[in-house]
Amino acid sequence: MIESIEFRNFKALREATLPLSRFTLIVGPNGSGKSTGLKGITAFQNPGVYHHKNLRTAGVPETVPVGVTARWTDADGAQVGSLLWSASEGTRVAYYVPNASSQAVKVAEVLQGARIFALDAVAIAQPVQLQPNMEMAQSGALLAGVLDRLRDQHPERFEAVNKELGRWVPEFDRILFETPGSGQRSMALRTREGHYPIKAVELSQGTLIALALLTIANSAKPPSIVCLEEPDRGLHPRLLRDVKDALYRLAYPEGSGEKREPVQVIATTHNPYFLDLFREHPEEIVIAEKVGLESKFSRLSDRKDLNEILADAPLSEVWYSGVLGGVPAGT
């Protein structure tokens, strides 16, 4: 498991460490480094495409190198190594594996498999050109193809998505497919009453985002690390427990009867109702804070007085008050 990511002179993250758990929820004001932190993780995939001048923190001299270090622990929680990529003036990013063990190679592979999702309903609804291997894009695009493959290759998982969707959005009971052109697929949902097909482009934003989330959670081979920007977007507050369950299904598969390796999940949110659902796991909550041009991260459970602060108040209200930090300056 990636235990932390350390950033040095990486955009707004001049000197910051993002602590991670199997599931991590990051809250903080706009521009506080939440998305930059996620980008830092996926930057390990293609370090060569990043250039020093595009990454350097504003105001930092050109001669100062940029670096991102991932530290990971084994199943017992013992720290077993780190992986660094860095770039100096005039150079592109390169990997550096301090202890080039088989573990380090494995973690490099895990980082290569990380995916960020910032789901967009318009993209999710679009028809797709079918390919032998379909993978959902960052926006959720290609979902129709991913579900088409899931139906053919893992019908039990496809049925699980149908069943869950029917619980989340009870007016629908089944995903249908259409062929708008040669080699193409588009989706529709069947109404429970009357069995009418409703085309994806006609569905609500929340329904499409719910479908994408359920597909990720029920994937036969999910990404090694799943990063989700505001997975609660567009969904009714009463569905947020289901969103939490979908994300926990990846991170804690044993809690849902899944028999597979846990997937590390990192999500961001601005939703106080969603935040409240994690009150009993403050070690999973990270507060992002912006101080001047710099951003910092801190784990909520590191607050020594947390129990007193939350004794008689909801977490969301305490967060909103500013007591925990992670609120916009000047508001």
Q: Which of 37, 114, 40 is nearest to 268 (CA)?
A: 37
Query: Of 256 and 321, which CB lies nearer to another protein in the complex structure?
Result: 256
Closest distance of CB 283 from another protein, Å: 11
Count the residues of the shown chain that bind another protein, applying the rule CB under 8 A: 22
Among 245, 270, 309, 320, binds another protein (CB under 8 A): 245
| Among 8-16, 63-71, 128-136, 248-256, the segment contacting another protein (CB under 8 A) | 248-256
Task: Quote the CA–CA distance of 149 and 130 in Å, as a whole number.
Answer: 9
The verdict on 166 binding another protein (CB under 8 A) reads no
The verdict on 7 binding another protein (CB under 8 A) reads no
| Among 9-17, 50-58, 234-242, 322-330, the segment contacting another protein (CB under 8 A) | 234-242
Among 61, 181, 194, 257, binds another protein (CB under 8 A): 257
Residues numbered 283-322 forming contacts with another protein, rule: CB under 8 A:
307, 311-314
Query: Of 53 and 241, which CB lies nearer to another protein in the complex structure?
Result: 241
Integer CA distances (angstroms), 303 to 19, 174, 197, in order: 14, 46, 51
Q: What is the DSSP string of 68-98?
A: EEEEEE-TTS-EEEEEEEEE-TT-B-EEE-S
Query: Of 47 and 314, which CB lies nearer to another protein in the complex structure?
Result: 314
Task: Quote the CA–CA distance of 317 and 319 in Å, as a whole number.
Answer: 5
Look at strands 184-191 and 264-269 and give their pairing: unpaired
Neighbours of 129 (CB within 10 A): 12
The encoded tokens of residue 31 equal 């521009």
The encoded tokens of residue 36 equal 């930059």
Query: Of 166 and 314, which CB lies nearer to another protein in the complex structure?
Result: 314
Which residues make up the interface to another protein (CB under 8 A)? 23, 238, 241-242, 245, 248-249, 251-252, 254-257, 273, 276, 280-281, 307, 311-314
